[in-house]
């Protein structure tokens, strides 16, 4: 199983589901008496999650350990720790799980990966953790592939990263790498990072499997779940070759999804459709996903009244209300993307290209003076909190900066 | 001017055909560049013809030769031969360079009569400097002499959006030139390129290639159908990416056959091709005749290399097309890479002619559609110029193709791509079969050697500069020698393209040593 992302959910109800799903999946592994469990990355959403998460994770892994089921893990891009200071390392330290990556650096710059052998089955396992942007590719390019490919016996490779050839949708951008970077001739490739179940074979790569997220690791996963995406893990049967790969679904919760197309409409009409659609559903004990997208002809995107909708759904007993307006824009005012050679240039271009859409009486907010003001204001607002600075002091400092840039006398207000 | 550097003197002629007498011992060559110092400026001139001149009548010379050849004993010589016999060179002015401002203008006057000329030096070519985001194509060549200090750089965005033609016969250095150009395109992200590599020779799967560029990891993407080397992508295109119009102008379908194809597309949408191929001809929909259906299936089977496996699934013999779960995003990924200013090399060496063009068509169509949309939304200014590099260009922009079949994406790009920052880089042995309207649109031509007169005439008549006297010059171009004619260069420039291997040796990736930090 992969991409469990324990600790991702912020809403209490979803946290509960996240924990339950994880526990049920592990219980099922125990009841199936699996020989071992592979987790190719992103077991946790961050490398040191909150104590609540650590507590239930430790408890469950203890049970797995007591059932004599080894768990083989590589870091994912979310729970990676370059200095081995993560909960994964704690779990490995107490012996509940085993980190697979055994990398050594050779004198010629190449990276050698050693196999570990599962005692019960004799399976040879090697793997490489998922790293941050772009770094994976460099590691795979430097991999001593010959030694990995020449190794005899039943071999499994754990990795965390997207494979270009296995993408099913064009929208899945990001740090994908070509399949050819993986060493060949392993019997099974356990992949993490792609959040939808995907199992394929290629020449030299007999079985590459992404079990997908166990519940949700991105906000879009919930939307996919609401649209029917099945979540679970993969049960693999093998002897000297893979015999069967079965996707085992783990139910998570119930969803209702409301989608509204705001293209060429006004905010009022969008609000009305949302209200109508909400009245048609029973949101009690459901995760409600609302998605509004398209370019409105009139009104600001903020005119689509979310708070009223959220209140109404909550009153009717919705478990969670998740509203997505990321793809909602307005012809009246929308920020167009702009490019530049560096940060300053991009900021300047964004302001310059968009300021023409604004209609203010104050002339200093428009044109070149408006751009300069916006840049100054941004520079004031993006300042980081200082070390040991109290939040209240930080807030006051930022406000003061902003008012100063805008020429507003705080005392007068 | 020092007397020692003088190679000739203007003795007659007219504008465009000036006659100079060669100084004895100078040994002028066709293509030599020379300089005439004028008041406040200097003229750059080029030799286009050489002939003998003599103060002695022909009959007398012939008689003297007879004495030498037939008498056998006497070795008769001319008295002061360097005065009486000499070489006359016919030269034409290429450019006038104003010394003060460094401006280069098209010359409109003759060099001063009796002016002494010298061969060009690097100092005369200081106006050739590298500008931002330009591509290197070679060094200025004077005859067969290479002036290494005078590098020729072309403004990449302008050149590629206005189309490039590389006409040459086999063995004159086409591949070397294309690799050299692409190597410099890799330097920045200002130009995206789709390269249909029919011989799998650019990436450098064996030996040196574009993969050895220091920015190859970021800017080069290589797709190959089988056994990709580490880091390369598998070229697999899902059949769902193919639409009926991708066959237009490439495959010979009759009207009835095209109608049948379109009918399947309208009804089945994404799965039209699979459905069409797996339907028994007798069970064809929409009253399509079984014979018509049979012919369509046979043609598609041959072109796309499709066969039906035991389970009744369509599989592609050369693994490029997939009817199942693979290759859904390949086209979008490639287009996205090009939009980011990367060079995408497709190894189409395992594909047949038509299949290669269809693969290119699918991608180029998508790219062109997107760039057109960007123009409509005002985003085009922020996009890099895109170029489609295609070999044996007459396959898609030849007169016979364009008159017997509908327009294809390549001809569309050649005709109107410039407006949308999409250009064609066409490589061909047969420029004469490309319509004049398209040839004239190709505003940069990098002319390599060509021994076929008809081809030279086609190139000369569509050049951006007057090459009417360069017929022999083009015919005598050696391997790696070229003439650039372009609206973006001040005159038709004779160049020597360096060996790609030398460029790689000089600028390629150095093997890193030392340990890598591992976690």
If you measure CA to CA, which chain B residue comes closest to A346?
A: B382
**pLDDT mean for each 10 residues of chain B (519 residues):** 80 95 93 93 94 92 86 75 92 92 90 94 87 88 91 93 93 93 92 94 93 92 92 93 90 91 93 92 89 94 88 83 89 94 94 89 94 90 93 88 80 93 95 91 94 92 89 88 93 94 87 63
Q: Where are the beta strands (DSSP E) in B281-436?
A: 306-308, 314-316, 321-322, 343-347, 385-390, 422-428
Taking CB atoms and an 8 Å limit, are A109 and B228 in contact across chains? no
For the packed helices B290-304 and B255-268, what is the interaxial angle rounded to 10 degrees? 80
Cα–chain-centroid distance for residue B424? 9
Q: Where are the beta strands (DSSP E) in A37-134?
A: 37-40, 71-74, 98-99, 103-105, 111-113, 116-117, 124-128
Which run of H or E residues covers position B221? Answer: strand B220-224
Which run of H or E residues covers position A18? Answer: helix A12-32
- Minimum distance, in Å, between the CA of residue A177 and any CA atom of chain B: 8
If you measure CA to CA, which chain B residue comes closest to A184?
A: B230
pLDDT in tens, A84-103: 889 999 999 999 999 999 98
Q: In b/e form, how buried is each residue of B34-46, taking b as 16+ CB within 10 angstroms?
A: bbbbbeebbbbbb
Taking CB atoms and an 8 Å limit, are B232 and A180 in contact across chains? yes
If you measure CA to CA, which chain B residue comes closest to A145?
A: B230
Nearest-CB residue to A105 (from B233, B336, B517): B517
**Inter-residue contact B114 to B10 (CB < 8 Å):** yes
Taking CB atoms and an 8 Å limit, are A164 and B515 in contact across chains? no
Residues in A closer than 8 angstroms to B233, CB to CB, are 164-165, 178-180
Residue B292 and residue B316 in one domain:
yes
Enumerate the active-site residues of A: 78
Q: Residue B331: inside a domain, yes or no?
A: yes
Contact residues of A toward B, CB < 8 A: 80, 82, 84, 101, 103-111, 129, 131, 137, 139-142, 145, 164-165, 167-170, 172-173, 178-181, 200, 202-204, 336-339
CATH label of the domain that carries residue B387: 3.40.50.300
Q: Residue B250: inside a domain, yes or no?
A: yes
Domain boundary among B282, B298, B321: B321
* pLDDT given for residue B130 in this prediction: 77
* pLDDT given for residue B498 in this prediction: 95
Dist. CA B90–CA B471, nearest whole Å: 14
Dist. CA B228–CA B319, nearest whole Å: 12
Dist. CA B128–CA B120, nearest whole Å: 13
Report the alpha-carbon angle B258-B262-B265, nearest 5: 145
Report the alpha-carbon angle B106-B111-B115, nearest 5: 150
Taking CB atoms and an 8 Å limit, are B233 and A108 in contact across chains? no
Residues in B closer than 8 angstroms to A336, CB to CB, are 378-379
Residues in B closer than 8 angstroms to A167, CB to CB, are 328-329, 333
* pLDDT given for residue B241 in this prediction: 92
Q: Residue B484: inside a domain, yes or no?
A: yes
Lowest mean pLDDT among A287-291, A343-347, B60-64: A343-347
DSSP string, A150-178: H--SSEEEEEESEEGGG--STT--SSEE-
Dist. CA A294–CA A41, nearest whole Å: 35
Dist. CA B300–CA A400, nearest whole Å: 70
Q: Is A369 left (phi over 0), alpha (psi -120 to 50) or beta?
A: alpha
Asked whether the ipTM of the predicted complex exceeds the cut of 0.85, the reply is no
Nearest-CB residue to A104 (from B319, B379, B518): B518
Q: Residue B191: inside a domain, yes or no?
A: yes
What lies within 8 Å, CB to CB, of A122 at 6+ separation is A153, A154
Distances (CA, A) of B5 to A410, B2, B48, B94: 80, 6, 20, 20
Q: Are strands A205-210 and A176-177 parallel, antiparallel or unpaired?
A: unpaired
If you measure CA to CA, which chain B residue comes closest to A336?
A: B379
Residue B477 and residue B368 in one domain:
yes
Residue B230 and residue B244 in one domain:
no
Residue B209 and residue B247 in one domain:
no
Residue B156 and residue B292 in one domain:
no
Beta-bridge partner residues of B316: B306
Residues 315-334 of B with CB under 8 A from A: 319, 325-329, 332-333
* Residue of A149, A178, A201 best to disrupt the B interface, most CBs of B under 10 A: A178
End-to-end CA, chain B: 68
Residue B340 and residue B415 in one domain:
yes
Residue in the structure block whose two tokens are 């050489």? B50
**In this model, does residue A287 exceed pLDDT 80?**
yes
Residue B396 and residue B419 in one domain:
yes
Q: Residue B517: inside a domain, yes or no?
A: no
Dist. CA B463–CA B451, nearest whole Å: 17
Taking CB atoms and an 8 Å limit, are B231 and A180 in contact across chains? yes
Residue B298 and residue B420 in one domain:
no
Residue B149 and residue B297 in one domain:
no
Report the alpha-carbon angle B476-B482-B484, nearest 5: 130
If you measure CA to CA, which chain B residue comes closest to A131?
A: B519
Taking CB atoms and an 8 Å limit, are B231 and A110 in contact across chains? no
B514 touches chain A (CB under 8 A): yes
Please state, rounded to an integer, the average pLDDT across all residues of chain A.
Answer: 89
* Residue of B133, B513, B516 best to disrupt the A interface, most CBs of A under 10 A: B516
Q: How many domains does chain B have?
A: 3
Taking CB atoms and an 8 Å limit, are B328 and A338 in contact across chains? no
Residue B215 and residue B273 in one domain:
no
Domain boundary among B295, B321, B347: B321
* Residue of A126, A164, A199, A345 best to disrupt the B interface, most CBs of B under 10 A: A164
Residue B232 and residue B244 in one domain:
no
- Minimum distance, in Å, between the CA of residue A235 and any CA atom of chain B: 21
Residues in B closer than 8 angstroms to A202, CB to CB, are 234
End-to-end CA, chain A: 57
* Residue of A161, A176, A180, A341 best to disrupt the B interface, most CBs of B under 10 A: A180
* Residue of B330, B334, B515, B517 best to disrupt the A interface, most CBs of A under 10 A: B515
Residues in B closer than 8 angstroms to A41, CB to CB, are none
* pLDDT given for residue A413 in this prediction: 47
Domain hosting residue B119, numbered range: 3-125
Go through the domains of chain A in sequence order and give each one's CATH number.
Answer: 12-249 (3.60.21.10), 255-330 (no CATH), 343-406 (no CATH)
Q: Residue B510: inside a domain, yes or no?
A: no
Residue B13 and residue B78 in one domain:
yes
Q: Residue B467: inside a domain, yes or no?
A: yes
Residues in B closer than 8 angstroms to A111, CB to CB, are 516, 518
Residues in B closer than 8 angstroms to A84, CB to CB, are 519
Domain boundary among B100, B125, B150: B125
- Minimum distance, in Å, between the CA of residue B110 and any CA atom of chain A: 47
- Minimum distance, in Å, between the CA of residue B323 and any CA atom of chain A: 13
* Banded model confidence at residue A388, pLDDT cuts 50, 70, 90: confident
The stretch A304-327 carries a mean pLDDT of: 90
Cα–chain-centroid distance for residue B109? 33
What lies within 8 Å, CB to CB, of B109 at 6+ separation is B15, B96
If you measure CA to CA, which chain B residue comes closest to A142?
A: B516
């Amino acid at each position: 199983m992969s991409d469990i992302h324990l600790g991702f959910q912020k809403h209490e109800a979803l946290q509960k589901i996240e924990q339950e799903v994880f526990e049920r999946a592990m219980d099922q592994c125990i009841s199936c008496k699996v020989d071992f469990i592979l987790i190719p990355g992103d077991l946790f959403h961050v490398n040191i999650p909150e104590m609540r998460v650590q507590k239930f994770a430790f408890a469950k892994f203890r049970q797995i350990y007591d059932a004599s089921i080894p768990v083989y893990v590589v870091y994912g891009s979310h729970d990676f720790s370059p200095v081995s200071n993560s909960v994964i390392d704690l779990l490995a330290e107490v012996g509940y799980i085993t980190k697979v990556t055994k990398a050594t650096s050779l004198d010629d710059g190449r990276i050698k990966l050693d196999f570990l052998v599962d005692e019960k089955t004799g399976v040879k396992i090697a793997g490489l953790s998922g790293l941050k942007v772009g770094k994976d590719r460099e590691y795979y390019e430097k991999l001593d592939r010959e030694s990995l490919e020449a190794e005899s016996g039943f071999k499994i490779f754990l990795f965390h990263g997207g494979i270009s050839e296995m993408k099913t949708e064009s929208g899945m951008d990001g740090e994908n790498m070509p399949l050819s970077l993986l060493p060949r001739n392993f019997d099974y490739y356990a992949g993490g990072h792609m959040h939808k179940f995907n199992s394929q074979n290629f020449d030299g790569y007999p079985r590459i499997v992404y079990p997908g997220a166990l519940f949700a690791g991105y906000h879009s996963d919930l939307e996919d779940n609401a649209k029917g995406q099945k979540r679970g893990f993969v049960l693999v049967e093998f002897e000297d070759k893979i015999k069967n790969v079965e996707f085992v679904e783990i139910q998570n919760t119930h969803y209702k999804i409301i989608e509204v197309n705001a293209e060429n409409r006004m905010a009022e009409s969008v609000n009305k459709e949302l209200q109508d659609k909400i009245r048609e559903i029973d949101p009690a004990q459901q995760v409600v996903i609302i998605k509004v997208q398209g370019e409105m002809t009139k009104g600001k995107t903020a005119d689509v009244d979310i708070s009223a909708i959220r209140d109404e759904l909550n009153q009717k007993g919705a478990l969670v209300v998740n509203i997505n307006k990321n793809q909602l824009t307005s012809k009246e005012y929308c920020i167009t993307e702009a490019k530049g050679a560096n940060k300053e240039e991009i900021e300047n271009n964004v302001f310059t290209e968009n300021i023409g859409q604004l209609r203010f009486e104050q002339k200093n907010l428009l044109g070149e003076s408006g751009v300069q003001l916006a840049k100054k204001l941004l520079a004031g607002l993006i300042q980081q909190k200082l070390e040991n600075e109290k939040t209240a002091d930080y807030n006051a400092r930022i406000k003061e900066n902003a008012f100063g840039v805008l020429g507003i006398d705080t005392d007068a207000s | 001017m020092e007397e020692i550097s003088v190679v000739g003197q203007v003795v007659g002629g007219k504008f465009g055909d000036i006659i100079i007498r060669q100084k004895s011992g100078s040994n002028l060559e066709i293509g030599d560049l020379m300089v005439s110092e004028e008041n406040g400026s200097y003229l750059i001139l080029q030799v286009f013809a050489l002939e003998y001149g003599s103060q002695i009548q022909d009959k007398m010379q012939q008689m003297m030769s007879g004495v030498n050849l037939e008498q056998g004993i006497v070795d008769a010589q001319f008295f002061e031969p360097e005065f009486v016999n000499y070489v006359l060179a016919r030269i034409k002015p290429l450019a006038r360079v104003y010394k003060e401002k460094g401006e280069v203008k098209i010359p409109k006057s003759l060099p001063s009569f009796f002016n002494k000329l010298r061969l060009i030096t690097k100092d005369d070519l200081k106006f050739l400097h590298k500008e931002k985001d330009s591509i290197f194509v070679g060094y200025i060549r004077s005859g067969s002499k290479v002036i290494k200090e005078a590098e020729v750089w072309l403004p990449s965005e302008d050149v590629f959006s206005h189309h490039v033609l590389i006409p040459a016969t086999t063995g004159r250095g086409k591949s070397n030139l294309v690799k050299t150009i692409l190597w410099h395109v890799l330097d920045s992200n200002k130009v995206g390129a789709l390269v249909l590599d029919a011989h799998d020779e650019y990436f450098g799967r064996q030996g040196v290639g574009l993969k050895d560029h220091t920015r190859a990891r970021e800017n080069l993407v290589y797709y190959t159908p089988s056994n990709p080397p580490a880091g390369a992508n598998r070229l697999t295109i899902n059949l769902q990416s193919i639409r009926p119009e991708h066959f237009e102008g490439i495959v010979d379908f009759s009207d009835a056959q095209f109608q049948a194809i379109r009918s399947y597309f309208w009804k089945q949408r994404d799965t039209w091709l699979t459905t069409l191929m797996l339907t028994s001809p007798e069970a064809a929909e929409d009253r399509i005749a079984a014979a018509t259906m049979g012919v369509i299936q046979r043609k598609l089977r041959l072109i796309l290399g499709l066969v039906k496996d035991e389970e009744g699934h369509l599989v592609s013999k050369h693994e490029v097309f997939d009817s199942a779960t693979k290759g859904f995003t390949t086209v979008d990924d490639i287009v996205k890479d090009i939009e980011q200013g990367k060079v995408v090399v497709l190894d189409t060496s395992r594909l047949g002619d038509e299949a290669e063009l269809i693969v290119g068509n699918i991608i180029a169509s998508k790219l062109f559609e997107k760039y057109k949309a960007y123009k409509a939304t005002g985003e085009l200014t922020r996009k890099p110029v895109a170029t489609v590099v295609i070999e044996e260009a007459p396959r898609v922009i030849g007169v016979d193709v364009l008159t017997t079949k509908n327009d294809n994406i390549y001809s569309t790009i050649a005709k109107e791509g410039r407006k949308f920052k999409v250009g064609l880089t066409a490589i061909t042995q047969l420029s004469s079969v490309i319509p004049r309207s398209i040839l004239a649109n190709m505003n940069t031509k990098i002319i390599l050697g060509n021994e076929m007169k008809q081809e030279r005439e086609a190139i000369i008549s569509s050049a951006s500069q007057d090459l009417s006297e360069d017929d022999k010059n083009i015919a005598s171009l050696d391997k790696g020698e070229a003439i650039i004619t372009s609206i973006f260069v001040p005159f038709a420039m004779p160049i020597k393209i360096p060996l790609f291997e030398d460029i790689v040796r000089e600028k390629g990736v150095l093997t890193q040593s030392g340990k890598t930090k591992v976690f």
